[in-house]
Amino acid sequence: MQFDGLPEPTEEPLAPMPIRLFRRAHSPHAREVACLTSLRFFAAAWVLALHYSERMPVDGSGVTAFFVNGRLGVDFFFVLSGFILTHVYLRQFEYLRQFEEQRFSFLHFIHKRFARLYPLHLAMLLVVLAYVSIGGWLGITFQSPEAYSWESLWHNLVLIHAWGLLDSMTWNYVSWSISAEWFAYLVFLPLSLALMRLPGEAVTKLALALTVFTVFYLVTPILVGQKLTLLTYDFAMLRILPEFLLGMSLYHVSIEWDLDPEAGPWLMLGLVMTLLGIVHFDLGTYPAVILLGFVILGAASLERQGDLQFLRHPALVYLGEISYSLYMTHAVLFILYFKAMAIMLGDRYEAWVWQLGPVALVAAFLLASSSYHLIELPGRRWLTSFHPKRRQRSRPLGL
């Protein structure tokens, strides 16, 4: 039937909906973001792969730069630290900023951070001290004897050995990153309050953090003669500061925004594949660090929506929990194991290292699990027990 004066209806195809990458967040993050714990394992394993490849009698950088870029696993930890600590303490900072209740104690925070880092750090220092002492008594020579000086030992004990005070890596050389983390903890409160007072939405905070990271990346080679992402014992606090701030700002973004449920998984896949391409072809650490930050943001968003279930598998979460032990113990293990192999095998070392080398990888994971349960956890609980519990009037927060 057709009515006078009205056009005859036609069937036209509906216009395609534009692809959305983000949407407003509808719920808070879970207290424990399990997928980020699992990602810690992959970051620690990447660093382990770098140090293992350095023990092999062949240079594989002509095939792939993936292993050489394993140092970026530490940058992942730096960004993740800012993200996670903001997740844990942001609510307390809100009350502190509004002067409603004193829910955040800086001394309490530092004490818990110290209890988290120090027991295993001290244990590995004692292990290195023992093998250096025994090696010297047996007449074994060390490649860099200056790395084991008494002066640098004191810097390591007070966690300032990555603050530009020394001329080389020292003792348990991977612990330079723990010194950098300690610096970040000391400035966490003022950074958080400054970021919260910044006007505008979370995207403004992210823009500021990206600007700071860019400035540090460009200026650091001029100031200290070294690329930002290569700083270790030489001013590593300059390396962690902009990356830590990036992680903090990304958490503010995650409060307001989620990846779109349909496009999000594909965007996450694209981020990971792009990151792998950059590190494989060695296209630069600047975009790599930024992509690592957005992988953290995307993973937290997708988990909140019920995706990434494979990263919530108990085995992966456990490996993430022991990642700090894996990181802190593997370097000393590799030194002792491969040094012993070189002494025992002599000229046959290069022929046998391919067959016997993987034993060190298995041993690294076994040692990490053991040190986690025997040193890291008991030490943390013991140190925490000495701190008086604060009176909390409602909904306590903390690690």
For residues 218-239, give the mean pLDDT. 93
Q: Residue 395: is its pLDDT beyond 70? A: no
Q: Residue 146: is its pLDDT beyond 90? A: no
Q: How confident is the model at residue 60 (pLDDT cuts 50, 70, 90)?
A: confident
Q: Residue 236: is its pLDDT beyond 90? A: yes
Tokens 């996670």 sit on residue = 84
Q: How confident is the model at residue 1 (pLDDT cuts 50, 70, 90)?
A: very low
d(CA 342, CA 106): 48
Measured over the CA atoms of residue 66, residue 120, residue 313 and residue 309, the dihedral's sign is negative
Q: Residue 315: is its pLDDT beyond 60? A: yes
d(CA 9, CA 151): 88
Higher-confidence position of 393 and 81? 81
User: What is the domain partition of the chain in residue ranges?
Assistant: 40-56+77-384
For residues 249-270, give the mean pLDDT. 90
- Report whether 229 contacts 68 (CB < 8 A): no
Dihedral, CA of residue 379, residue 385, residue 387 and residue 390, to nearest 10: 130
Q: Residue 398: is its pLDDT beyond 90? A: no
For residue 394, the surrounding DSSP H or E stretch is none
The number of CA neighbours under 13 Å toward the Cβ of 90 is: 21
Residues 267-299 pLDDT 10s = 999 999 999 999 999 999 999 999 999 999 999
Q: How confident is the model at residue 388 (pLDDT cuts 50, 70, 90)?
A: low
Residues 87-142 pLDDT 10s = 988 776 665 454 444 566 788 889 999 999 999 999 999 999 998 888 777 776 67
> Is residue 212 classed as helix, strand or coil in its secondary structure?
helix
> Going by C-beta distance under 8 Å and a sequence separation of 6 or more, which residues neighbour residue 81?
181, 184, 240, 244, 247
d(CA 38, CA 35): 5
